[in-house]
A and B are shown apart, each in its own frame.
Chain A
Amino acid sequence: MDKLAYFDSSHDFPEEIAMAAGFTPYKILGDVKTPNDPADQYLQNFICPAARSFMTDALAHSGEWAGIVLAHGCDTTHRFYDIWKLHVKTPFLHFLNVPMNYERKSAAKFFKTEMKLLITRLEAKFGVKITDAKLKDAIKTSNEIKGKLQKLAAMRGEKDITNREYLELCVKSVQLPKADLLALLDKKLKEWAARPAFPDGKKKILLTGSDVTYPEWMDTLEEANLRVVRDDLSIGERCFATLIPDKADPLDAIIEYKAAMPRPATKNPPDPRLDFLLKELKDSDITTVVSQNLKFCEPYAFDSVYTMKALKAKGYKAIHLEREFSPTIDRQAVNRLEAFMEIGEKA
């Protein structure tokens, strides 16, 4: 078993620690096509459906993983830890507290202590030594992956690359062994470079909001002739928009990286999230934003009103949708998106 699985409501888990311990970090993403009945033995149906799917996944597959780390993001992460501790069988279960306010001095100190504790526990459990040199190697590999993903993501605006293809690649980037991933990314770089130009009839958009963990929702956007060419999602640009800096202490480098990456709605203050979106839009030729939140995903539902207002005030076309956790194309969403685009074009 070489996978160290993690449940992360954003991009809070430092994959490099798992890599330095000799594991493949494996992000638990559930399966939208599998009913949540196993998890629903323990949870009400108004709790985040994606998180319930992650639990269903863990109940079925934890035996294939060396252990599981839950990283603190939204409330669901820590509440689920307690439930997983009771019901998910695993030889190693760890909760990593992650700070909410990266700007504060206290946060960096705290996060470093938490990462050191994770390292100590991994070393004790698996008899490995996680040295600075191994962490630096892992950071180097992560940066190599990020660099390639940046190039691939940039092709979305130039070439004919479907929303599904992009998301499926991003999913692989948080689940595959890193050597296999690097080989795949090289292959995709060649393959995507040879693709036809960005198709006529498709509209370029920026996608923001809750993390999209399954390709069917990306198909919904495709059906509405919308192509995601920029985003700030955790299964997306949040993971690779910035590189991990080179610092003497690799944990300091990870802290600086986490503070600088595109901000999820689970952190404070919220303004850097909007600032990143506005910068993405300014740096590109995109004029349309699709924002969405998964049903019961509160952080993004809270932010949506202000975000929409701010984007519209800057002259961008923006729409916010709430989506179900469903493996089928959402026809109502397609209709709304088509109408939104038609109205925008007429205006």
Chain B
Amino acid sequence: MSEATQDTKKLLRVERLPAINSQLGKIIKNYLMKSKFMSSLPWKKTAWVTAGFPVELCYLFDIFPMHPENAACVAGTAKVSLKLIEYAESLGFSRDLCSYFKTNIGAVGKKVGIAQGAIGKPKFLASTNTICDTHVKWFQTQAREFKVPYFCFDIPVAVAGTDDARMEEYIDYVVDQFNEFIEFAGKITGKKFDENKFNTILQKSAKLSDLWQEIYEYRKLLPTPVSFQDTMAAIFPLVILPGLDIGISFYEALLKDIKERVAKNTGSLTKEQEKYRVLFEGIPMWYKIKFFHELANYGAIITYEPYTFSFGPKKKIGLPIDKQLRELARLIIDTPYNYAVEKRIKYFEKVIDDYKLDGIILHSNLSCRPSCTGMVDLKNAIQKDKGIPVWLMDCDMDDPRAYADEPMKNRMESFIELMASNKK
């Protein structure tokens, strides 16, 4: 029996940071309740937004942002996403379409509760296309259903080799669209762009990102004091609450917990338990969070995720307004989630060194083709340059039909064995 298989007999427990348990549940619950309430008020301006959209613009115009992707995660973790997806498919949506989208179609159509992924009808929808076309097609579909406006930011693609001059041209285009959005939001809300308010929101948003970066710095330690079991939930404020105080105080509490762990020389697993440090690329399988606990049973802990890191980039603030908008535009164009393959390889290889990683899991996500295109080159480059195992894992983020326990377990064991053999 291999070392990897022997370890499955131990049931290791990944300790979540105490603040996750004590504070985050309340933050999310309060937000969801408020979301339900706000969308019921005819005079309150609400908007659906997606990842990649600068949520700060909503707070600037006193628009309450709602996040259908987040609601789809809720449905996944509540293990109800499948029935919602099947409902969407019964309407004619293809099995091949994004499972977040179909979960949302089902949640709206079946009128489920907020604990099952419900989200109120918005006054308008707004997204970018920086992460995927799906955001655009999803919001076009729902805007038609709700008969409300949709504002789409068209974000140019910085393909491999894009030089600085061309990047500036792209930034010009995005800034022009900020001005178009300001006009659009002004018409809906009757409010004007308030530079002081915008700067205050950005300061808080930058503070939130700084704290996130600090949390990530601690993940470089052995053993890591922060696991994916923490970050997959803790990104919530970065996704939907940047620019507000609530996320800042929560992250400060997280950092306090982290420092206490570090002072005790322990982590999410103990020093003895943590055998393999792994990067997980992509969105997790929300309906099967158990997967990550099963990994931990082999002593494998997820210590870095480009997905959660992407939400908290370092933000420059205190710039004159024209430069500030350009900086915001740059961050939307240039996010790890849409890096070109060449840049993605360099980024991953630096992370492998910085975080002392033993293996990589690339979620080849049936629901997210754009992020998967290029993964084969990424896998080959990492294996060649860094000599660590890379698991290209076919699955889906919200559709449990893509996950089969036994085959997954077999592949997991093989991956662990490769890491074990690599460390000898």
Binding site for B on A (CB under 8 A): 41-44, 46-48, 72, 74-76, 78-83, 85-86, 95, 97, 99-101, 104-107, 109-110, 113-114, 117, 265-266, 268-270, 293, 295-296, 298-299, 301-306, 308, 320, 322
11 A-B residue pairs with Cβ-Cβ distance under 8 Å, sorted by A, are A44-B372, A75-B133, A75-B373, A82-B342, A105-B180, A268-B154, A298-B97, A299-B133, A301-B94, A304-B94, A322-B94
Q: Establish whether residues B140 and A47, one from each chain, have CB atoms under 8 Å apart when the complex forms.
A: no
A104–B151 Cα gap in the complex (Å)?
Answer: 11
Nearest 9 A/B pairs, CB to CB: A106-B176, A79-B373, A302-B137, A100-B154, A78-B157, A75-B370, A110-B173, A82-B341, A301-B94
For residue B344, which residue of chain A has the nearest CB? A82
In the bound complex, residues from chain B placing their C-beta under 8 Å from that of A83 are: 341, 373-374, 377
Quick one: given A44-B376, A74-B133, are A293 and B94 in contact (CB under 8 Å)? yes
Q: Which of B93, B96, B169, B374 contacts A82 (CB 8 A)?
A: B374
A257–B4 Cα gap in the complex (Å)?
Answer: 62
Q: Establish whether residues A47 and B133, one from each chain, have CB atoms under 8 Å apart when the complex forms.
A: no
Quick one: which of B386-424 are within 8 Å of A by CB? 392, 394
Q: Establish whether residues B96 and A296, one from each chain, have CB atoms under 8 Å apart when the complex forms.
A: yes
Min CB gap A290→B, angstroms: 15
In the bound complex, residues from chain B placing their C-beta under 8 Å from that of A110 are: 156, 169, 172-173, 176
Q: Establish whether residues A268 and B152, one from each chain, have CB atoms under 8 Å apart when the complex forms.
A: yes
Q: Establish whether residues A268 and B177, one from each chain, have CB atoms under 8 Å apart when the complex forms.
A: no
Q: Establish whether residues A42 and B137, one from each chain, have CB atoms under 8 Å apart when the complex forms.
A: no
Min CB gap A89→B, angstroms: 15
Q: Quick check: is B161 within 8 A (CB to CB) of the other chain?
A: yes
For residue A301, which residue of chain B has the nearest CB? B94
Q: Establish whether residues B377 and A296, one from each chain, have CB atoms under 8 Å apart when the complex forms.
A: no
A81–B159 Cα gap in the complex (Å)?
Answer: 7
Quick one: given A46-B369, A298-B137, A322-B94, are A82 and B132 in contact (CB under 8 Å)? no
A295–B364 Cα gap in the complex (Å)?
Answer: 18
In the bound complex, residues from chain A placing their C-beta under 8 Å from that of B377 are: 42, 83, 86
For residue A271, which residue of chain B has the nearest CB? B144
Q: Establish whether residues A46 and B366, one from each chain, have CB atoms under 8 Å apart when the complex forms.
A: yes
Q: Establish whether residues A306 and B370, one from each chain, have CB atoms under 8 Å apart when the complex forms.
A: no
Quick one: given A85-B161, A104-B180, are A44 and B173 in contact (CB under 8 Å)? no
Q: Which of B92, B152, B160, B170 contacts A101 (CB 8 A)?
A: B152
Q: Which of A46, A105, A320 contacts B96 (CB 8 A)?
A: A46
A316–B21 Cα gap in the complex (Å)?
Answer: 56
For residue B366, which residue of chain A has the nearest CB? A46
Q: Establish whether residues B154 and A44, one from each chain, have CB atoms under 8 Å apart when the complex forms.
A: no
For residue B144, which residue of chain A has the nearest CB? A306
Min CB gap A292→B, angstroms: 12
Q: Quick check: is B270 within 8 A (CB to CB) of the other chain?
A: no
Q: Quick check: is B138 within 8 A (CB to CB) of the other chain?
A: yes
Min CB gap B174→A, angstroms: 9
For residue A87, which residue of chain B has the nearest CB? B377
Min CB gap B36→A, angstroms: 27
Q: Establish whether residues A100 and B152, one from each chain, have CB atoms under 8 Å apart when the complex forms.
A: yes
In the bound complex, residues from chain A placing their C-beta under 8 Å from that of B160 are: 81-82, 85
A114–B394 Cα gap in the complex (Å)?
Answer: 37
Min CB gap B342→A, angstroms: 7
A86–B137 Cα gap in the complex (Å)?
Answer: 30
In the bound complex, residues from chain B placing their C-beta under 8 Å from that of A44 are: 364, 372, 375-376, 392, 394
Min CB gap A300→B, angstroms: 9
Quick one: given A80-B373, A100-B152, A107-B154, are A86 and B341 in contact (CB under 8 Å)? yes
Q: Establish whether residues B97 and A302, one from each chain, have CB atoms under 8 Å apart when the complex forms.
A: yes
Q: Quick check: is B24 within 8 A (CB to CB) of the other chain?
A: no
Given contacts A83-B377, A298-B97, 11 further A-B contacts (CB under 8 A): A41-B376, A44-B372, A82-B159, A85-B159, A100-B154, A105-B176, A268-B154, A296-B96, A298-B137, A302-B134, A304-B94
Scoring B156, B176, B394 by chain A CB atoms within 10 A of each residue's CB, the highest score goes to B156
Min CB gap B161→A, angstroms: 7
Q: Which of B97, B129, B134, B372 contacts A47 (CB 8 A)?
A: B372
In the bound complex, residues from chain B placing their C-beta under 8 Å from that of A117 are: 166, 169
Min CB gap A250→B, angstroms: 20
Q: Establish whether residues A266 and B94, one from each chain, have CB atoms under 8 Å apart when the complex forms.
A: no
Quick one: given A79-B370, A79-B373, are A305 and B180 in contact (CB under 8 Å)? no
In the bound complex, residues from chain B placing their C-beta under 8 Å from that of A293 are: 94
Quick one: given A41-B376, A76-B373, A95-B157, are A86 and B342 in contact (CB under 8 Å)? yes
Q: Establish whether residues A43 and B156, one from each chain, have CB atoms under 8 Å apart when the complex forms.
A: no
A82–B373 Cα gap in the complex (Å)?
Answer: 9
Q: Establish whether residues A47 and B136, one from each chain, have CB atoms under 8 Å apart when the complex forms.
A: no
Quick one: given A78-B159, A81-B159, A86-B342, are A304 and B92 in contact (CB under 8 Å)? yes
Min CB gap B50→A, angstroms: 14
Quick one: given A86-B342, A320-B92, A322-B94, are A299 and B373 in contact (CB under 8 Å)? no
Q: Which of A43, A106, A296 contacts B173 (CB 8 A)?
A: A106
Quick one: given A82-B342, A322-B94, are A47 and B159 in contact (CB under 8 Å)? no
In the bound complex, residues from chain B placing their C-beta under 8 Å from that of A299 are: 133, 137
Q: Establish whether residues A104 and B177, one from each chain, have CB atoms under 8 Å apart when the complex forms.
A: yes
Q: Establish whether residues B369 and A268, one from each chain, have CB atoms under 8 Å apart when the complex forms.
A: no
Q: Establish whether residues B376 and A308, one from each chain, have CB atoms under 8 Å apart when the complex forms.
A: no
Q: Which of B138, B369, B394 contacts A302 (CB 8 A)?
A: B138
Min CB gap A42→B, angstroms: 5
Min CB gap B94→A, angstroms: 4
